[in-house]
Structure 1
Amino acid sequence: MDAKDIEKVAHLARLGLSGAEREAYAQDLSRILDLVSHMNAVATDGVEPMTHPDTAGLRLRADAVHQEIDRNQLMAVAPEARDGLYLVPRVIE
């Protein structure tokens, strides 16, 4: 990509870029596109598609209750509560 291509993309995205920024973006995007073309050149025939790169799976813990918390204890520390709900100041009028 050159600065002219970056200028077109910047115009479409409604971005204001200086000349130095256009040059820097042109170099960065050229490197990214080179990397993508290099990755596309890798032979992937016979490679099975994966749903996730980590095949180990999830480590799950047992779904068991360890300690019950009394709702009344939790409500007792609230500055304001009514009918089992915390009352907070209104932020949108």
Structure 2
Amino acid sequence: MALTSQDIGRIANLARLELRPDESERMLSQLNDFFDVVEKMRAVDTAGIEPLAHPVAAVQDVVLRLREDAIGSFPSREESQKSAPAVENGLYLVPRVIE
């Protein structure tokens, strides 16, 4: 799948980007190179190959270092709301943005 200059212009417009002609050409080249790599990856037969849980698992055993799941202490609602600019009845008050 090769992109054209018109495709780059449309993508830039959707992303609200303003590209100079030289930037547009460079972007076209880079995106087409990326799609070439994707097509090469799609061409590889991966039937019967189990997915890796972690990329390093292909070369060494991976042991996840997880912390112990322990109950901690949390600040009370009043403590948490001390720094809020406006609170009423335990709720944060924010400025109205929709009329």
Common fold by TM > 0.5? yes
Q: Deviations over 1:48-85 (max 9, x none)?
A: 1111122212386xxxxxxxxxxxxxxxxxxxxxxxxx
Instruction: Please state if 1:57 is matched with 2:62.
Output: yes
Q: Cα RMSD (Å) of the superposition?
A: 1.6
Paired-residue identity, %: 36
Look up the match of 2:14: 12
Equivalent residues, number: 61
The structure having more radius of gyration, on CA atoms, is 1
Question: Structure 1 length as normaliser, TM-score?
Answer: 0.60
Q: Secondary structure at the match of 2:55?
A: coil
Q: Deviations over 1:22-41 (max 9, x none)?
A: 11100110000011001100
Q: 2:35 aligns with which of 33, 36, 45?
A: 33
Question: Structure 2 length as normaliser, TM-score?
Answer: 0.56
Long gaps (5+) in structure 2? 66-84, 86-99
Long gaps (5+) in structure 1? 61-92
Matched residue type, 2:42? N
